[in-house]
Amino acid sequence: MLKIKHALTRLMKLLRSINPHITLPEALESILELEMEEIYPKHHEVLEHEGDVPYYIIRGCVYIYYYDAAGKQHVTRFYREDRIVAFLSFLEGTEALYTIAAGRDTILSRVSQRTMKKIYGSFDGMYEFAQLTVMRYDESKEKMKSDILGLPAPERVKLFYELYPFLLPAEAARMDEEIANLLLMSVRNLRKFR
């Protein structure tokens, strides 16, 4: 059960903003309140290893990564407070490639596959709405990453911290390796340009 009431209010506002032309079912909010659970992960705790459960970030951040064939880690995204973390693999029931890990002082809520199937079966158009949500987030995150990586290294660092100011001071966030990996630079250069 989701106990942090303002988080549910913010989540519903976020869902309504995705496509304002679609009216969400009134019962959706009460289902999510009853079925979502809050979790309080440790810093860098792996939430899903090559798995896919949708999360709503109440506070803090999560980061997404995968390993290539050579075993090298690639950080692909950061998600901040008041965002949904979900992938099409969850909707389609296919194998996920990504690992989801928590940042420092993060609080999340999550919903099970069983609950999502219940929602899809109970309300017409909810599966399509979930697909739209995931696709828009994917497009948005990929564009943001492309825009950042298209900049010279000092500007990449500046823009990243403008988007994720809660990751400062860096000593408290302790995520230099992950941030440098995302920004395609060394930790040394990240620290230099920060």
pLDDT for 66-78, tens place per residue?
A: 999 999 999 999 9
pLDDT at residue 129, rounded to an integer:
87
Residue 169 preceded by cis peptide, ω within 30: yes
pLDDT tens digits for range 114-134? 888 889 899 998 888 888 888
CATH number of 5-137: 2.60.120.10
Task: Rounding to the nearest 10 degrees, give the CA dihedral for residues 4, 80, 82, 22.
Answer: -140
pLDDT tens digits for range 29-52? 999 999 999 999 999 999 887 666
pTM value is 0.85
Provide the residue ranges of all domains of the chain, joining segments of one domain with +.
Answer: 5-137, 150-194
Residue 86 identity (one-letter amino acid)? A
- The mean pLDDT value for 95-119 works out to 87
Q: Backbone phi, then psi, for 121, in 5-degree steps?
A: -75, -25
| Burial classification of residue 152, based on how many CB atoms lie within 10 Å of its CB (0-12 exposed, 13-18 middle, 19 or more buried) | exposed
